[in-house]
Amino acid sequence: MSDPVIGVLALQGDVREHLAALAGVGAEGRQVRRPEELADLDGLVVPGGESTTMSNLAVAFGLLEPLRAFVAAGRPVYGTCAGMIMLADRLLDGRPDQHTLGGVDMTVRRNAFGRQNESFEADVEVSGVAGGPVRGVFIRAPWVESVGEAAQVLAVHDGHTVAVRQGNVLATSFHPELTGDHRLHGLFVSMAAEARGTAPAAA
């Protein structure tokens, strides 16, 4: 079988870094800007950036409902930072006109760890990721206020949930794509490969 094909939503945010991380774990990365580009993907990354801008651009590009359908169909999706916000069923401190894709039974608070100048890095133990802590880069990062029964907490930092999984949906409030440590991308590619009934091309 060919390597998993993973799209990166390329409306706004750190697209290039995710493409590099995906290549580092043996996946084929593709930029996604149009609804038809979702059709033949094995998974999708929703990157960090600015969640309200991403929401507005998804509407403008006619992607909001196709993205929601992609998630609702159980297709593998990984969201980082703003991507975590986009995958939340419920938001705190969101703008009235802000849309999410849903997919994880969680309540997320935007910018919970502070403003841009309060950004930081920290080691985070992530359940299911071997080899020690993951270095997390937190930039205007959200955290998860609460999760429902369907969602599994994978990581906590300073008493706050910062990584979750629900079925084929993975979300982190930090940016692993900025560190050179591709283990979380490897986990996601493994999820995508499993979802299409294959073994992962690379771990």
pLDDT, tens digit, for every residue of 124-178?
999 999 999 999 999 999 999 999 999 999 999 999 999 999 999 999 999 999 9
Catalytic residues: 81, 175, 177
Model confidence over 87-114: pLDDT tens digits?
999 998 777 778 899 999 999 998 888 8
Residue 54's SS3 state is helix
Number of H helices, E strands in the chain: 5, 12
The domain segmentation of the chain, as residue ranges, is: 5-195
Choice among 37-46, 124-133, 173-182, 191-200 with the minimum mean pLDDT = 191-200
pTM score, whole prediction: 0.93
> Residue 111 CB: number of other CB atoms within 10 A?
16
Cα gap 121→157, rounded to integer Å: 11
Q: Report the distance separating Cα 94 and Cα 111, nearest Å.
A: 10
Residues 45 and 30: their CA atoms lie apart, in Å, by: 10
Architecture of the structural domain at 5-195: 3-Layer(aba) Sandwich (3.40)
